[in-house]
A and B are shown apart, each in its own frame.
Chain A
Amino acid sequence: DVKVTQSSRYLVKRTGEKVFLECVQDMDHENMFWYRQDPGLGLRLIYFSYDVKMKEKGDIPEGYSVSREKKERFSLILESASTNQTSMYLCASRTQEGVGTDTQYFGPGTRLTVL
């Protein structure tokens, strides 16, 4: 079974703080993703990484950065947290071995509240 873990289920931070969200997968997947999910807006892609040290912007990268130094770990960084970044953050991973393997598997999510 694919296992994707996230460092925290719930997190409360103050405006202006630097926030790190960590995601780890144990299936040697090449691709990893960070989404945020908000009521009425659905899942929105923030950033993804198709390999170590490689990253690409998603649909809403503003205010975020990412780091992928090791294949199994993908970090999302909020450089200066703001209240509009209060959301559910979901990490996912996916293998890239070929057709039929492009399923994304999600971690449990981190509910971040910025006060």
Chain B
Amino acid sequence: QKEVEQNSGPLSVPEGAIASLNCTYSDRGSQSFFWYRQYSGKSPELIMFIYSNGDKEDGRFTAQLNKASQYVSLLIRDSQPSDSATYLCAVNTGGGSEKLVFGKGTKLTVNP
């Protein structure tokens, strides 16, 4: 069973701080990794994807991938109250699979 694990939280940070969200996965052959943000009552929206080891930055968001340790993380710099949401980690395990395996999500609260 291919698994993606996330700390369910809630993770609470003050406005302006760095929020760090972590995700581990079980399948060593996994090839692509995604972070989705989901506001309460809404559908997931893609924030970032990463395929290669290292860091990938997009504005205030940085995704970090370490395939040797099988983890992927999302850093949110200068956190804003509007970042308060549940963040879902998703992994494509490759081998031609069309499917993503999702973690259960980490709930982030940014306090003004």
Binding site for B on A (CB under 8 A): 31, 33, 40-43, 45, 48, 50, 58, 90, 94, 96, 99-100, 102-109
Does B51 contact A99, Cβ atoms closer than 8 Å?
yes
Number of interface residues of B (CB under 8 A): 21
Which of A42, A90, A105, A109 gathers most chain B CB within 10 Å?
A42
User: With the chains together, A24 CA to B102 CA distance in Å?
Assistant: 22
Does A90 contact B46, Cβ atoms closer than 8 Å?
no
Does A94 contact B98, Cβ atoms closer than 8 Å?
yes
User: With the chains together, A16 CA to B61 CA distance in Å?
Assistant: 46
**A108 — which chain B residues lie within 8 A by C-beta?**
42-43
Which of B36, B92, B98 gathers most chain A CB within 10 Å?
B98
**B43 — which chain A residues lie within 8 A by C-beta?**
90, 106-109
CB distance from B63 to the nearest CB of A (A): 13
User: With the chains together, A48 CA to B92 CA distance in Å?
Assistant: 15
Does A104 contact B103, Cβ atoms closer than 8 Å?
no
Does B49 contact A42, Cβ atoms closer than 8 Å?
no
Q: Which of B32, B36, B42, B102 contacts A102 (CB 8 A)?
A: B32
CB distance from B37 to the nearest CB of A (A): 11
**A50 — which chain B residues lie within 8 A by C-beta?**
98
User: With the chains together, A96 CA to B92 CA distance in Å?
Assistant: 13
